[in-house]
Every structure is written in C-alpha cells, then in structure tokens.
Amino acid sequence: MFGCLDRKDLKKYNAYTMAEMLLVMAIIAVVMLSLPKATKKMFRMESVRSNHARYECYWENNVLKQYTVTETLGGGAVKDGPVVASTRSGYDDVCVFNPPDNTPYIILHAVGGGGGGVEVYDTLQGKETNTALAYFNKEETDLWPDWFSSSGVQNFAFTTSNSAADNYHKKVKDIKYYEADSIYNSQSVRYRPSGSAGTLKSLFFPNLPAGARLIMMPGKGGAVGSARSQTVSLSGGAGARTVVRLLYSGADLASCKSKTKTTDNDCNNGCCDLIVAEGGKGGDTLTHDGARIDSKQSVMLTGGQPRDYDISNYSSVMEKQSGFSMVLANDSDVEDLQTHVDSRAGNGGNGGNQYVTDTAGDIIYELNDYDGIIGGGMVYGTKWKTLSQEVSPNIYANSHCTHGSVSGTVWAKRRGYCIPAFSVCFIGNIKLTPGTIPGMACNDATKCASFELDFSGSTPNVIPKSGATGNYRYCQYDTTNQGISCEEKVTSGTTHHCTATAVGSQGHKCASGATPENNKVCKARAGGDGAVVILW
Amino acid sequence: MVKISSKKGFSLFEAALVMLIAAVFIVVMASVFPHKPKPKAQAEAHGRFECYYVGNSLKYRTVVQGNVGSEQTSNASDALGKYCEFVPSRFARYLIIDAVGGGSGGAGSGSVQSMGGSAGVFSSSFFATPMTSYRLYPGKGGAVDHNTDASAGGTTYVVGYKDASNRETLMEVLGGSFLGSLATSNVDDIDSCRITKTTSLEYYNCGSYPKCELINDKIEISYCRRQDVYRTVPYDFHIRPGDSEDKKLDTIGDNKCTTRTSELNKWVYRDISVWRDWKKSPVFNYGNPNPCPTDANLNDMDKPSLFTMELLMKVPDTITNAGEDSDMYTFVKAMHYGGNIVTVKPGNGGALNSAGSAGAVVVMW
C-alpha cells in the first residue's frame, strides 16, 4: 500500500536513517558556522586612511636629496630613497613631491638657510689679574655681574670694604651686612658674532589641488666670513631663501624652477609660490667712519666659560637655532623612521671664539655678621661666615667652579672695621686728631688694640702691633671716616676655587671644546642649509 | 510501491565526505577572501570656510568638495569687532585655521619714508578636536602712513566656543607694521644696528669699540666701562601709543633720542643713558627744543654721549612700493581658491599712498 510502510520494511529501502540525517545536519551546521567568518571577512571595509608618512628635501654635502618614509599598518616603516636629485647648486636644484591620494591632511615646514659666522685669525692677549671690588660696590650695583646679582645677595644689606666703616658707626643690630672681596684672574675673551637663523615657516592644509605637485628649492647656508686680521669690514655670508612652489598639471617644471619669484601671471599658468622662507643674515663686524670695530670682548672669571659669568653677553657668538629641529622626528628607535635632515638646518653659524682655561683663581665671599658687635673690637669680634652658607641658590650652580677650602694665604681688603675711638683718646682736653700730637698713637685697648697710629707725618701711619703684624698688611688711615683699613689674612673664610685644566701651551680653548688652531682661532661655522619637511 | 533505492546514487558516506571536504574548503577560504583587493579608498570630504573683508563689509563663503557656496555678509559684532560665525560639520575630524593680520598702510605724504606697507603676520594652526563653533575676527588694514600709529594693521582673532559660556581665544595674529616707522615696529623689524660714532676718550671705551647686537628682542650694546669692567646693556624697544616718532625707542632710562634720517629706513640714536652707571643721577639738558645729545657731545664730559648708533630697518625683498604680499595671499592664490578671498589680497601691505588690506581667516577640514 502506498504511503504505508511497516517499520521493518524500511530496511528494505536505501533511505537515510535518523542517525545519518543527524550526521548530515551536523556537517551542515559546521558549514554554516564557518560561513559567517568567511563572509564577514569578505565584506568588511578596510580603513580608507592613507598611511602616515614623512617626506624630506635637504642638502647633504652640497647634494640635494629627497627622502620619503612611510609607516606600515603593522608598525615599522617603508623607506624610499635617498634619491639624488642634482649635484648642481642654486635654483637648478629642486625636489619634486607628488602628493599621495587620500591624505587626510598635509603639514609643510620650510626653513631658509642660516647666515654664516665670522672668524678672525688673531692672537689673544694674556691673562690678567684684577679684583672685582668695583662690581660689588653698593653704589654701582648695576655693575655687578648678572650671575651675582641673581644670587639673591641684593636682597640683603650688602656692603663692601669701602663702606664698612659707615656700618660700623651705625652699629646696627639684627641686620646682616655682607662683605665681599673677590680676587681672581681674568682673561679678555674675544669672539666674533654668529650669523642669524633662517626663517621657519609652517603651513597646514587638507589637500593639494588635483594633479598639482610641490617643487622645493632649499636655500644654502651662508659661508663663514674669515680674515687674517680685522682691518677691514668683515661679514659672514647670508643664507639663501627656501622656496616651495605649487606646480599644476601641464605647467613646465624647468620654467617654474628657474624663476626667482613667481608673478600672478606665472601662478595663473600653473607655477605658484606657496612658501618663501627667508635666509639668515651673516655675522657682521663692520667698520665705520674709519674706526676699527674689534670683536666683542668679555672679561671672564677664572676657569669657567664666559657664558657662565655673563659680564658680557656671550650669546652673540653662539649658534643661533632656527627651531627646525623641533619639527624633525629624530627620536624614533626605528632606523628607517629617523630623519635625514641635519639638525643644524637653518641655524646661524657660530662666530669664532677663544678663551683661556689654564688660569686658576680664588673667589672669596664672606659674610660679615655684625650682629652683637658693640662698640667695635671688630678685629677680633667679627664672626665670619661664607656667603654660600647664607645665600640660596648656590651661586656656583651654573659654573665650573667647585667649592673649596682655604688654601694658603688669602688677603681680603677691608677698610674701616677698626675705628680708633677718638672720643676717648684725649690727653687732657686735647682731642687726638691727625697731626695734633706727633708721635702719639691712639692705643685704645678695647677698640683698636691691634694698631697704633703714628701721626708724626702728614698722613697718619697705621702700625699693626705685635701679634697682628702677620695678619694685616697695607694698613691705612682714612681721615674722612677716621678709620683704619687693612688687608687681612683670611683664615676662617671658605675660599672657592675655580680652576680648569690647561689646554695647550697657553690654555686657549674653543667654545666647542676643541683646541684652537695655534691658539689663535676657533673656527666659525657656516650657516645650516635650508630644508623642507612634509608630513601627512 | 515505490522503490526508492537506486544503485546509481551516492552513498550517504560519500555524500557526507563531499560535504566535509566542502566545509574544509569554506573554512580555508575564510582566510583567503580578506586578501582580495581592498576597496579603493574614498577621498576625504574636504572643505573650507573663508572670512574676509570686501571694503568695510565682512564676507564669508563656504566651499565643500568643490561646491562653492554663495558669498554672504556678516553683520555680527561684539567687543572684538565684526566677526564671522562658523559651525564646523560634525563629520569634521580636524580643523586647520589659517589667519592673517591686517596689512599696514603704505607711506603717505606725511611720511618721511617712501615705501609700501608690510604684510600682516600669518599663522597656520591645526586643531585635532573641533569645537562647537568659532568666531573669526579679521583685523582691518592700516591707514596710509603719516607717521602715526594708525598705519599699523589690525590684529586678527579666532575665538572658539565649547558652549555659549565657555570660550577660548585660539589665535591672535598681529597686523603688519610700516617698516619705515618706529611707531609700528618692533625689534624684529630691525635688520641691523651699528655704532657709527663713539667717544674716543679713555673714560669709557678703553681703546675698544662698543658693539651693537640684536638679541632676544632687545638691542644690546656692549662696551668697556673701564679697564676691568665690560658691560652689556639691553635696550628695550617700547612702543607707546601717543608718543611722537622721535620717542619711540625707549632705553633702560627714559632717554628717547632717536631721529629719522632722510635715508630709507635709517634711524639714528644717540645714547646718554649708560651714564647712569657713571654718574649717579645724571640730569643732562642739551637745551630746547632738542633734549638729546648730538655728535658734538661725544667727548663732552659734562654733557656726554657715549655713542651714536644707527638702526637699519628690514626691507625684505618681498616689500616694494606696491606693498608686501602676505603669506595668506600667497597661499590662497597658489591654491587657486578664486573669489574675493584672492581678489582682496588679504593681509597685504598697502602700496604708496594706499591703505593696507584687511586680514582674513580660512578654516579648512
């Protein structure tokens, strides 16, 4: 009977069993499970963003080069280049950049060539020994070296040996007076000016016009201005401007790159200036009105570099930064990602410079604490502290000097710290005044026990008594202030030494650390070449 | 009865084997399909918003994907002046804002000098996170220069708004200065300085010549004070509205002894201020109407002048009697933007006897 099968009759037919059907369904299930994995991958949209990349156009040993480095999605980079575009100089050299499609944005940095520094082949004068007392005279605080003024000393009542007598007379308590004596060797330093940096320009834009290319002409850095002696005007070479142009489809490259500046008509024809970054100026030591303008001079304290002391501004000799290095990606650990552009791109070259490093000197700063001094007796009653114990920040923090201790004998000039008490130096009703009683000395045991005054001459003669002889010298009597001044042997103050190792027979050294040629000249540098970097 | 068996068909085992193999194929293909060529990337939806002056009327225009919108007039203004309101598309992933200050005016009949004005400063900035809205305030162009401060170009501002009460000034771009005028100049406008005369006495110079440099926005004079003291004095270059032209160079003192010369862009300054470190309170009076020293006073120890210095103002190759082109004008022209943003030459310095062009702002994404 059709449609009516007995269970046992099923075995008679080649039909699937339930188990077989389940097996088929299981396989189908496996297939179905795998399909979404395939289909989803098939139709998933990939990112449409172009990879980030960097293009560089730069000079390397007078050869213009271009270089492109592109990131990969999996990390790392793909580099393209370097490509030598030309070995010729000037505007014949160009880089050509074809922007990729679909860039989300473009960043363009351009810097002009830096100006060259100046050097003069001239000898240095020898080291000198000076005192810095003039700097610390309170009446001429503007003469203090900047580094000293910034040390915080000016916040205190600051006196020098010249005015200590006044302070003594005031007998002011609870106010600390500082006294500073400085003995050091100095060196007049000659250095010539550097060139100025090229102009840095940056431009952001979303995309370039369709079919347009960028052509770039980085300017060369200015040459060094050099002379055997400075008898004529001398200047470093100016850096050349860096030009970036848009070259539209159909415009002629050769014609476009040959133009010094594009006009409106040029631009209408597809050749347009986009960025013009001017070059820097060369260092300049001009002569005017027949007078010789020598290089700048500076007096430096011993041992450190002139810029540490800043009596004169040392920055004029230093290389001038264009700021272009800030846009260079040079910190990558990936070799291919590192920039090929010189870090000096657009910098103004440093000027020639020299200074001496083999002199050694002592700078002595002491604190004279007048607290509690009553009625004088300062020769023995004065308490001495080092200035560095009182002043913060440490005034030596930016120098090459190191703290030292007393070494040998150091004489510090002081005036007026011993005032003969004329008010009590009477003989009868006769007041002791200079020249009044020849041969008579004021010998007040409590105030000037260490000295005698000999009025036998026209000028009172100060005589250290026994026991003080070895500790004072050059004693004088100040008739105006009626005080005694001497140089005192300093034994309790800390002496700070600034020393440096001699370089060469005369110890001349360049700011770069190199030994100058025959101790005469440290080389100036040419300006850094211009460059262009494009990021997207 | 229907006989459903057939000797010619696959066995179940065979069918299952085929399906199993097919399943393996599909699984393997799952890793093959993704390596098919990717769909071509679509271009970014770029656009720009331009804000500029046409005469005294503030205009704006939007261009999206090459579709140029009509030029509109904005009459909105607040304390900073007239502005264009810009609301970025919510699809904008970033904004680039280029701004230029107003160009300075060219020399007029009242000016000693004869040259065009300088361009406004140009600034290009990238903002990764667009704000809710922006107000763009292009600076006006400077008037014709008659030795007055009015010749300077106006400052261009860009202010961003996170909401109605949360605003931030994003850009402040200075206008151009007429390079022949100290009234609108700063140290950056000085090309070089040089000492042309100096006292020859030992009181100051120790046999060496003073040195003049332009460093850190200051004019620095270095000289020998006496044999053991060399000094560098930084001169600030201050501009004080209302000062007359011969008082624009402010030194460490209050001496303003700078005069124009008939030569293009050359100024002469005679110094007396450094006498402050020589005499405690120098009060020199060289007589009316000129309170400042002359070259004859160089060696006059009673009324001295340390030196005579020339300041040579920058005259870049890009500035002519027609005025200096701004970087903004160079940019919009090179990009072939067309329209009035190019026609008005935003930020350009004025030609002789002409006012400078107003500034402009272009927002791009």
Length in residues, chain A:
536
Domain count across chain B: 2
Question: Which of A298, A357, A313, A284 lies closest to A516, judged by CA?
Answer: A357
CA atoms of B176 and B326, how far apart (whole Å): 9
Residue B345 shares a structural domain with residue B292:
no
Average pLDDT over residues A265-284: 90
Residues of A in contact with B333 (CB under 8 A): 264, 267, 272
Average pLDDT over residues A396-421: 41
Question: Which of B138, B105, B107, B143 lies closest to B123, judged by CA?
Answer: B138
Quickly list H helices, B123-187.
Answer: none
Average pLDDT over residues B207-226: 67
Q: Does residue A296 form part of some domain?
A: yes
Contact A104 B44 (CB under 8 A): yes
CB proximity under 8 Å: B 313-332 to A: 316-318, 327, 330-331
Of B23, B44, B316, the CB nearest to A206: B44
* Closest residue, chain A, to B220 (C-alpha): A313
pLDDT at B23: 76
Whether the CB-CB separation of A406 and A490 falls below 8 Å is answered with yes
pLDDT tens track for B323-346: 889 999 999 999 999 999 999 999
pLDDT tens track for B298-323: 766 666 667 777 777 766 666 778 88
pLDDT tens track for B167-183: 899 999 989 877 666 66
| Percent of chain B with pLDDT strictly greater than 90 | 30
**Residue A270 in this model has a pLDDT that exceeds 80:** yes
Q: Residue A60 corresponds to which tokens in the numbers above? A: 């390397």
pLDDT tens track for A328-342: 755 566 666 678 889
**Residue B111 in this model has a pLDDT that exceeds 80:** no
Residue A321 shares a structural domain with residue A283:
yes
Contact B4 A27 (CB under 8 A): no
**Residue B146 in this model has a pLDDT that exceeds 80:** no
Residue B276 shares a structural domain with residue B293:
yes
Contact B41 A49 (CB under 8 A): yes
List the domain range (segments joined by +) for residue B265. 184-313
Average pLDDT over residues A30-56: 64
Residue A213 shares a structural domain with residue A339:
yes
Residue B135 shares a structural domain with residue B87:
yes
CB proximity under 8 Å: B 278-307 to A: 280
Residue B309 shares a structural domain with residue B327:
no
Q: Does residue B193 form part of some domain?
A: yes
| Percent of chain A with pLDDT strictly greater than 70 | 38
Residues of A in contact with B216 (CB under 8 A): 315
Q: Does residue B3 form part of some domain?
A: no
CA atoms of A493 and A414, how far apart (whole Å): 14
Residue B15 burial (C-beta neighbours within 10 Å; 0-12, 13-18, 19+): middle
Q: Given pLDDT bands bounded at 50, 70 and 90, which one contains residue B134?
A: very high
Distances (CA, A) of B190 to A186, B186, B340: 34, 7, 33
Residues of B in contact with A35 (CB under 8 A): 26
pLDDT at A39: 56
pLDDT at B59: 96
Question: Which of A411, A421, A416, A420 lies closest to A370, judged by CA?
Answer: A416
Residue B81 shares a structural domain with residue B122:
yes
Cross-strand pairs, A247:
A213, A271
Which positions ≥6 away from A238 have C-beta within 8 Å?
A115, A116, A195, A222, A279, A280, A281, A282
Average pLDDT over residues A84-104: 65
Residue A344 shares a structural domain with residue A384:
no
Residues of A in contact with B44 (CB under 8 A): 102-104, 206-207
End-to-end CA distance of chain A: 82
Residues of B in contact with A142 (CB under 8 A): 276-277
pLDDT at B227: 52
Residue A166 shares a structural domain with residue A23:
no
Of A273, A311, A312, the CB nearest to B334: A273
A500 or A250, which is more confident:
A250
pLDDT at B248: 47
Domain count across chain A: 3
**Residue B108 in this model has a pLDDT that exceeds 90:** no
How many angstroms away from the CA of A169 is the closest CA of chain B?
Answer: 24
Residues of B in contact with A24 (CB under 8 A): 12, 15-16, 19
Q: Given pLDDT bands bounded at 50, 70 and 90, which one contains residue A33?
A: confident
Q: Does residue A163 form part of some domain?
A: yes
Residue A326 shares a structural domain with residue A273:
yes
Whether the CB-CB separation of A203 and A274 falls below 8 Å is answered with yes
CA atoms of B56 and B50, how far apart (whole Å): 16
pLDDT tens track for B54-68: 999 999 999 988 889
pLDDT at B335: 93
Please indicate if any CB of chain A lies within 8 Å of the CB of B22.
Answer: yes
**Neighbouring C-beta atoms of residue A329, cutoff 10 Å:** 14
pLDDT at A254: 86
Contact B228 A15 (CB under 8 A): no
**Locus of tokens 């699984």:** B27
Mutate which of A6, A189, A260, A288 to disrupt the B interface (most B C-beta within 10 Å)? A288
* Closest residue, chain A, to B125 (C-alpha): A204
pLDDT tens track for A148-196: 444 444 433 333 333 333 333 222 222 333 334 433 444 445 567 788 8
Q: Does residue A411 form part of some domain?
A: yes
**Locus of tokens 């193999």:** B21
Average pLDDT over residues A481-506: 47
Q: Given pLDDT bands bounded at 50, 70 and 90, which one contains residue A518?
A: low
**Residue B363 in this model has a pLDDT that exceeds 80:** yes
Q: Given pLDDT bands bounded at 50, 70 and 90, which one contains residue A242?
A: very high
Which range has the worst mean pLDDT, A127-141, B134-148, B168-182?
Answer: A127-141
Which range has the worst mean pLDDT, A123-127, A163-167, A229-233?
Answer: A163-167
Please indicate if any CB of chain A lies within 8 Å of the CB of B194.
Answer: yes
Question: Which amino acid makes up residue B106?
Answer: G
**Chain-wide mean pLDDT for chain A?**
61
Residue A157 shares a structural domain with residue A73:
no
Residue B164 shares a structural domain with residue B57:
yes
Q: Does residue B96 form part of some domain?
A: yes
Q: Does residue B16 form part of some domain?
A: no
Q: Given pLDDT bands bounded at 50, 70 and 90, which one contains residue A446?
A: very low
Residue B195 shares a structural domain with residue B143:
no
Contact B209 A207 (CB under 8 A): no
B50 or B190, which is more confident:
B50
Please indicate if any CB of chain A lies within 8 Å of the CB of B19.
Answer: yes
Pairing of β A157-159 and β A177-191 = parallel
Residue A184 shares a structural domain with residue A219:
no
Q: Does residue B157 form part of some domain?
A: yes
Q: Does residue A310 form part of some domain?
A: yes
Residue B296 shares a structural domain with residue B323:
no
Whether the CB-CB separation of A523 and A509 falls below 8 Å is answered with no
Please indicate if any CB of chain A lies within 8 Å of the CB of B34.
Answer: yes
End-to-end CA distance of chain B: 79
Residue A112 shares a structural domain with residue A179:
no
Q: Give the three-class secondary structure for B343.
A: helix
pLDDT at A32: 76
Burial A428-455 (b: 16+ CB within 10 A, else e): eeeebebeebeebbbebeebbbbbbbbb
Which positions ≥6 away from B322 have C-beta within 8 Å?
B116, B351
Of B48, B229, B327, the CB nearest to A143: B229
Q: Select from B279, B294, B313 the last residue of a domain.
A: B313
Average pLDDT over residues A138-147: 43
Q: Residue B97 corresponds to which tokens in the numbers above? A: 């804002």
pLDDT at B346: 97
A293 or A524, which is more confident:
A524
Q: What is the CA radius of gyration of chain A?
A: 41
pLDDT tens track for B239-276: 544 555 544 444 433 345 666 666 666 777 776 555 54
Residues of A in contact with B4 (CB under 8 A): 13-15
pLDDT at B342: 95
Cross-strand pairs, A300:
A187
Contact A48 B41 (CB under 8 A): yes
Residue B192 burial (C-beta neighbours within 10 Å; 0-12, 13-18, 19+): middle
Average pLDDT over residues A250-277: 89
pLDDT at B345: 96
Handedness of CA A119, A122, A128, A133 (dihedral sign): negative
Residues of A in contact with B43 (CB under 8 A): 101-102
B128 or A508, which is more confident:
B128
**Residue B160 in this model has a pLDDT that exceeds 70:** yes
Q: Residue A36 corresponds to which tokens in the numbers above? A: 């979404």
**Residue A461 in this model has a pLDDT that exceeds 80:** no
Residue A382 shares a structural domain with residue A465:
yes
ipTM above 0.85, yes or no: no
Residue B200 shares a structural domain with residue B299:
yes
Length in residues, chain B:
365
* Closest residue, chain B, to A31 (C-alpha): B23
Contact B330 A37 (CB under 8 A): no
Average pLDDT over residues A291-310: 34
Q: Does residue B24 form part of some domain?
A: no
How many angstroms away from the CA of A346 is the closest CA of chain B?
Answer: 17
**Residue A521 in this model has a pLDDT that exceeds 60:** yes
Residue B86 shares a structural domain with residue B137:
yes
CA atoms of B172 and B361, how far apart (whole Å): 11
Distances (CA, A) of A449 to A28, A413, A452, B298: 120, 19, 8, 52
| Percent of chain B with pLDDT strictly greater than 70 | 61
Q: Does residue A47 form part of some domain?
A: no
pLDDT tens track for B10-39: 777 777 787 787 777 777 666 555 555 554
Residue A25 shares a structural domain with residue A67:
no
**Residue A359 in this model has a pLDDT that exceeds 50:** no
Q: Given pLDDT bands bounded at 50, 70 and 90, which one contains residue A140?
A: very low
B224 or A417, which is more confident:
B224
Residue A247 shares a structural domain with residue A284:
yes
Residues of B in contact with A313 (CB under 8 A): 213, 215, 220, 222, 232
List the domain range (segments joined by +) for residue A432. 128-191+361-498
Residues of A in contact with B225 (CB under 8 A): 143
Whether the CB-CB separation of A108 and A203 falls below 8 Å is answered with yes
Burial A217-247 (b: 16+ CB within 10 A, else e): bbbbbbbbbbbeebeeebbbbbbbbbbbbbb
Q: Does residue A304 form part of some domain?
A: yes
pLDDT at A185: 41
pLDDT tens track for A45-68: 444 556 678 888 999 888 888 888
* Closest residue, chain B, to A287 (C-alpha): B196
Contact B41 A276 (CB under 8 A): no
Q: Does residue B5 form part of some domain?
A: no
Q: Does residue A505 form part of some domain?
A: no
pLDDT tens track for A199-214: 999 998 888 888 899 9
* Closest residue, chain A, to B66 (C-alpha): A209
Q: Does residue B248 form part of some domain?
A: yes
Which range has the worst mean pLDDT, A264-268, A373-377, B196-200?
Answer: A373-377
CA atoms of A45 and A51, how far apart (whole Å): 16
Q: Does residue A6 form part of some domain?
A: no
Contact A205 B364 (CB under 8 A): yes
CA atoms of B95 and B126, how far apart (whole Å): 6
* Closest residue, chain B, to A47 (C-alpha): B41
Please indicate if any CB of chain A lies within 8 Å of the CB of B36.
Answer: yes
Q: Residue A289 corresponds to which tokens in the numbers above? A: 């009105």
Ramachandran region of residue A516, left (φ > 0), alpha (ψ -120 to 50) or beta? Answer: beta
**Residue A101 in this model has a pLDDT that exceeds 90:** no
**Residue A110 in this model has a pLDDT that exceeds 90:** yes
Residue A457 shares a structural domain with residue A432:
yes
Ordered strands of the B211-215 beta sheet? B211-215, B218-226, B229-235
Residues of A in contact with B275 (CB under 8 A): none
**Residue A131 in this model has a pLDDT that exceeds 70:** no
